[in-house]
Amino acid sequence: MQSVPSQAIRPLSLNASLSSSRLPFFSFSLPIFHKFKINPSIYNKSQKVPLFLTLRCCSSGSVTAKPSSELRRNRDVQEPDEKVVALRRLFSKPGIGIDAYIIPSQDAHQSEFIAECYMRRAYISGFTGSAGTAVVTKDKAALWTDGRYFLQAEKQLSSSWILMRAGSLGVPTTSEWLNDVLSPGGRVGIYPFLFSHDAAKELKEAISKKNLELVFLYDLNLVDEIWKESRPKPPNNPIRVHDMKYAGLDVASKLSSLRAELVGTGASAIVISMLDEVAWLLNLRGSDVPHSPVMYAYLIVEVDGAKLFVDNSKVTKEVMDHLKNASVELRPYDSTLSEIKRLAAQGAQLWLDTSSVNAAIVETYKSPLDKYCSNHGSKGKIKNKRYDESNGLSEGPSGVYMRSPISLAKALKNPAELEGMQNCHLRDAAALAQFWCWLEEEIHNNVELTEVDVADKLLEFRAKKEGFLDTSFDTISGSGANGAIIHYRAERGSCSVVDPNKLFLLDSGAQYIDGITDITRTVHFGEPTAREKECFTRVLKGHIALDQAVFPENTPGFVLDAFARSSLWKIGLDYRHGTGHGVGAALNVHEGPQSISYRYGNTTPLQKGMIVSNEPGYYEDHAFGIRIANLLHVQEINTPNRYGGIEYLGFEKLTFFPIQVASVFSGI
C-alpha cells in the first residue's frame, strides 16, 4: 500500500538469467506466474539515474480548480447538502461567530487510520479516502486530496463540493483559497485537537496575510454537533501486552534510554501523543483503530516517573501488572490537559514534538507556563537544541520543541522485531500462494467473482495462518479501470466483476502477532495489450532498479526515488504517489520518519534496521492500473571498496512471493 506523506517490497520471481545473489529465483511455481518468459536483453542496458533531482516551477497564466461535478461525465443536478447546510447554521451561534470551518482527516493523535467515531471529514463530505481536508464557508464547500484519491473523490463527492486536486498546477492551498474567498476580517474556525501545533501555526500565519483570524474552538466540534446520536461510540477494546520475544527490548530499557534523552536536552518530561509511539515504548498493543494494533492514549514520561492516560476499562489485570512493573501510573484519558496545566504551573520544561502534538495541548501548556515565568521574574522561551542560536539557554523554564526521539528509535528494528517480520512474511506468502492458485482456477473455470469476493477469499486464506490478527489496511481489489483508482475500495453491490481480459490489481496486507505485511501484485488472466505490457515492464524495471540499489550511508530516501521512475520517465510517464514508506514491526503499516519519495523535504537518511516499501506504479485513468509492491529491510552491503571510509547500504527482501511475468513486453 503506497503512501504519499510521510505514507511494500518482496523477492521477485524472474528468469534464471536475471537472478543474482540479491535477487533470488524461486524454484517453485504457480500457474499464474509463468506464462511468458522475460527477455533478459531488456535489462542489460546500463541506466544512468541522477542521484539528485532538479525541480523547476513553471507558470502559464491562471489555472482554476473546477468543481468535481463539472468533471463527471454524468453530472447530477446540484442540490443543497443537508449536512453542510446544518453545519453553516452553527457558524452564527453565540461563542462561535465564524465565516469558515476546516475539517481535517486526523484524530487528536494525528493518526492516518482512525476510529469510526472520529471520521468527521468523511461524515461531512462523503469522501472516504484516508487523506483529505474539507473546508466549509457560508456559501462554498471544498475538499483537498492528493493524487492517490482524485478518481475516488470524483465519484464520492456530491455536486455541492469543489474538488481541489492538491499538488496540481494552479490549485490553491487551503489557506490561499480562504484568503481569496473570505473578506478581510473573516474568522476561520478549527477544533485545535485535530491540528498539530505546527499545522495550526502555519495556517494562522498564512491567513493573517489577508487579515483573517484563526479561531480555536476548544469546547465544541461543529461536526459532532450535527452528527449527534448517529455518531458511533468511541472504541472500548481491551489492551494486550506485546510479548518480549516479539518486542526484543523491555519497557524499562526503553524508558531508561528516553530519560537519558530528556536529561541531555534539559527537559523534565516529554508528552507522547502518537499512538504507535505509545504502543512501541510500553510494549502494548490494542485494537481501537482499524488495521492498526494501537489504543487511544497519551503518555507523559518524566525523569522520575511516567503516566499513561487511557480509558481504564481497556486495562486488563495483565496490562495493569505489566505497567506496574515498569513504574507507569494510570490516569483517565480525558485528564491529559489537566496534567499538562499542572506541569506548566510548576515550571516543567516539557518536550513537545510540535509536528505531531496537537495545538490544544501546546497552547494549554504555554499559557500557564508564561504565567509561571512572569511570577518568577523570567520569560520562558522555546528551546530547540538544533536551531536555537542561543543553544536553548534561558533564565527560566521553557518548552523544548523538537522531533520525538521515539520516532527514529522505533524505525530501527532490533533483531527480534526483524525475525518476527521475516517469519510472518513466510506464513503470509503461503496464504498468498493458496489464494492465487484458487483464483486462477476459478477464473479459468469461468466462475464470476466480484472484487469483493476476491478480497474476502484472500482474507479467508490469511485468517487460517498462525498469529493472524487483522488486515493491515483495506484490501485494494481493482479490475480494469478500478485499478487506476490508487486507493480504490470495492464495495459489495457497486463493485465490478473481475474481468479475465483486463489487468487486475490487488494490494493487500495483514497484521500478525509478530509482524505486518504489505504486498501488491498486478496480473492478467488472458493476453494483455501491447500498451499494458510496455507499462508493466517499465514499472517492473523501476521496481528492480530500487530493489538492487546500493548507496552510501546517510543517503535520504528521496535520492533513490528516481531509480524507480526512470524507466517510466523515458517515455513521459510517471505516478502520483511516493515510491516507498516506512513500515512498523507489528505496528502501523505506515510509519516515519523514513520514506522514498519525490518529496525532497524529508532528509531522513535510510539506516540499517529500517523497513521500507518498494512500490512504483502507473495508472491510466478509466483504463487500468499497475503497481508492484514488496517490503525491504535496509542492511549493510559488503562492497569491494569503501570510498571515503563509509558504509554502503542496500536492501534485503522481506516479501516471499513471486511476480507474474505474463504482462511483460520484451521489446523495450
- Per-residue pLDDT tens over the stretch 558-577: 999 999 999 999 999 999 89
Distance CA 215, CA 363 (A): 13
Which residue did the predictor score with more confidence, 397 or 22?
397
Q: If we measure between CA atoms, which residue out of 160, 148, 159, 164 comes closest to residue 621? A: 148
* pLDDT score for 52: 30
In this prediction, residues 236-265 reach a mean pLDDT of 96
In this prediction, residues 227-247 reach a mean pLDDT of 95
What percent of the chain clears pLDDT 90, i.e. is strictly above it? 76
Residue 617 near residue 478, CB atoms below 8 Å: no
Cell 513537545 belongs to residue: 352
In this prediction, residues 26-40 reach a mean pLDDT of 35
- Which one-letter DSSP state was computed for residue 67? P
In this prediction, residues 95-121 reach a mean pLDDT of 95
CA triple 485-487-493, angle to 5 deg: 75
Judging by beta carbons within 10 Å of its beta carbon (0-12, 13-18, 19+), is residue 330 exposed, middle or buried? middle
In this prediction, residues 465-471 reach a mean pLDDT of 97
* pLDDT score for 78: 53
* pLDDT score for 577: 92
In this prediction, residues 494-514 reach a mean pLDDT of 96
Average pLDDT, the chain: 85
Residue 323 near residue 250, CB atoms below 8 Å: no
* pLDDT score for 376: 53
| Its pTM surpasses 0.75 | yes
Domain boundaries, the chain: 81-230, 240-374+399-409, 415-653
In this prediction, residues 223-230 reach a mean pLDDT of 94
The model's confidence at residue 316, banded by pLDDT at 50, 70 and 90, is: very high
CATH architecture of 415-653: Alpha-Beta Complex (3.90)
- Helix, strand or coil for residue 9? strand
Q: If we measure between CA atoms, which residue out of 315, 513, 351, 440 comes closest to residue 32? A: 440
In this prediction, residues 40-66 reach a mean pLDDT of 34
Residue 469 has which C-alpha cell?
490478527
Distance CA 645, CA 648 (A): 10
* pLDDT score for 663: 63
What percent of the chain clears pLDDT 70, i.e. is strictly above it? 82
* Same fold for the pair 81-230 and 415-653: no
How many CB atoms sit inside 10 A of residue 230's CB? 7
What superfamily in CATH does domain 81-230 come from? Creatinase/prolidase N-terminal domain (3.40.350.10)
Q: If we measure between CA atoms, which residue out of 546, 510, 522 comes closest to residue 423? A: 510
The per-residue b/e assignment along 397-426, b for 16 or more CB within 10 angstroms, e otherwise, is bbbbbbbbbbbebbbebeebbbbbbbbbbe
The answer, yes or no, to whether residue 392 has pLDDT greater than 80, is no
In this prediction, residues 301-327 reach a mean pLDDT of 96
* pLDDT score for 371: 61
The answer, yes or no, to whether residue 22 has pLDDT greater than 80, is no
- Per-residue pLDDT tens over the stretch 321-345: 999 999 999 999 999 999 999 999 9
The answer, yes or no, to whether residue 662 has pLDDT greater than 90, is no
Which residues are CB-contacts of 73 (< 8 A; sequence separation ≥ 6)? none
In this prediction, residues 593-605 reach a mean pLDDT of 91
In this prediction, residues 6-14 reach a mean pLDDT of 28
CATH topology for 240-374+399-409?
Creatine Amidinohydrolase; Chain A, domain 1 (3.40.350)
* pLDDT score for 397: 53
- Per-residue pLDDT tens over the stretch 402-440: 999 999 999 999 999 999 999 999 999 999 999 999 999
Phi (first) and psi of residue 191, to 5 degrees: -95, 105
Residue 505 near residue 627, CB atoms below 8 Å: yes
The model's confidence at residue 488, banded by pLDDT at 50, 70 and 90, is: confident
* pLDDT score for 34: 35
Distance CA 236, CA 316 (A): 12
The answer, yes or no, to whether residue 141 has pLDDT greater than 50, is yes
Query: Does 40 sit behind a cis peptide bond, omega within 30 degrees of 0 on the bond before it?
Result: no
* pLDDT score for 151: 84
- Helix, strand or coil for residue 543? helix
User: CA-CA distances (angstroms) from residue 250 to 273, 314, 557, 586?
Assistant: 20, 21, 30, 16
* pLDDT score for 487: 85
Pairing between strand 510-512 and 515-516? antiparallel
Residue 531 has which C-alpha cell?
500498451
Phi (first) and psi of residue 408, to 5 degrees: -75, -40
Lowest mean pLDDT among 77-91, 278-292, 372-386: 372-386
Q: How many helices, marked H, and strands, marked E, lie in the chain?
A: 18, 28
Lowest mean pLDDT among 261-265, 282-286, 374-378: 374-378
Distance CA 594, CA 408 (A): 9
Residue 627 near residue 539, CB atoms below 8 Å: yes
